Structure 1
Amino acid sequence: MAVLVHNQSADWTRELYEATFDRVIPDRTNPPAGLIAHFGAPRDAGGWQVIDVWESEDAFRRFLDGTVVPAATELGAPPFDTVVVELHNSLIPAAP
């Protein structure tokens, strides 16, 4: 079952997000197994948020625990909150 993942933290910055992203997905043409979509943006209240769609929660957790957390820890990043919910519906329009 596909899942929607929302990660956020008031203590993350754009620069920290970009440094982490560059480490965990250095080749944008070769995304991690199970990743369907990824979006990063500032939060209205300050900080940073990431919203992903994954094929399964297991695929997300493998990437989070095996790749993201070690890279973020190495960069001295603060923790972030994660919410995972089953995806009910999606629409990804075809490119023109």
Structure 2
Amino acid sequence: MAVLVVNQAPDWNQELYQATLDRAIPDPSNPPAGLIAHFAAPGAEGGWQVIDVWESEDALRRFLEGAVMPAAKELGAPPFDTKVVEIYNSLIP
């Protein structure tokens, strides 16, 4: 089942996000298996947020553990909070 993923990172900024993304997905034309959509923006109360839709939580976990966490660790990035919920409905015009 598809999942909605919200990552909140109060101590991140656009530059740290971009550096992490460049390492985790070096070729944006070849996104990770299972990724449906990816959005990133400043947080409403500061920091940075990333909102994704994944085909499954397993696909998300493989990407986080195999690419994002190693990249963030390499950059010395502070931790971020991840919330995952199953998608009930979607509308894509």
1:91 is displaced (CA, Å) by: 1.9
Other structure's SS at 2:39 match: strand
Runs in 1 of length 4+ with deviation above 6 angstroms? Answer: none
How many pairs are equivalent? Answer: 93
Superposed displacement of residue 28, structure 1: 1.0
**TM-score (norm: length of structure 1):** 0.94
Give the whole-Å Cα distance in 1 for the aligned partners of 2:90 and 2:72.
Answer: 29
Q: Tell me by how many angstroms 1:92 deviates.
A: 2.2
Partner of 1:40: helix, strand, or coil?
strand
**What residue ranges of structure 1 are gaps of 5+ in the alignment?**
none
3-state SS in 1 of match to 2:27:
coil
RMSD over aligned Cα atoms = 0.7
- Listed as ranges, the gaps of 5+ residues in structure 2 are none
TM-score (norm 2): 0.97
Task: Give the CA deviation at 1:82.
Answer: 0.3
